[in-house]
Amino acid sequence: MEKRFGTITCVVTAHVSALNGTSFPLPVKLQYGVTDPYAVRLSLGPSTRPAVSWVFARELLADGPRRPTGPGDVLVLPRCGHRSHSTRIALMNTHGTATIEMPSTAVAAFLRRTFSLVPLGTEGQYLDLDGAITALMGRSHHS
């Protein structure tokens, strides 16, 4: 796990299962940064090729191990049965659904680091709303 310039990254080998039942190991990178303090980016695939990424609320990753969480394309599911050591994430898009199983200890350590960097409830202090509004309006900061 690496922490640089307000960014935390965790790379693990996960097991990805497709709808057809095939399962294979694949590198997964979780990334969190103060510039987007509510979100986690999950990227699938080796760093040598363009990764497939999903961005979702950090809260989903924190709450999912206790109860199914996520109303959209990302669903984090509680541990169950013989997979109690894994955090399960279902990713959905127009092409289908895949389930990713990552070591719960790595996900928990990643989350602890993110909450150490930006404590829960303080995310708004890290947002640059003026800069975002200015960028949306197409103006520079130096008007």
The more confidently predicted of residues 123 and 108 is: 108
What phi and psi values does residue 49 have, to the nearest 5 degrees? -125, 160
Strand partners, 47: none
What architecture is the 2-135 domain classified under in CATH?
Roll (2.30)
E strands present in the chain:
2-4, 7-18, 23-33, 39-44, 52-57, 74-77, 86-93, 96-103
The more confidently predicted of residues 77 and 37 is: 37
Q: Any idea where the domains of the chain sit in the sequence? A: 2-135
Task: Give just the sign of the alpha carbon dihedral 26, 108, 55, 48.
Answer: negative
Determine the Cα angle at 15 with ends 26 and 43, to 5°.
Answer: 50
Say what percent of the chain tops pLDDT 70: 80
pLDDT at 131: 63
pLDDT at 143: 46
Average pLDDT of 37-63?
A: 86
pTM over 0.85: no
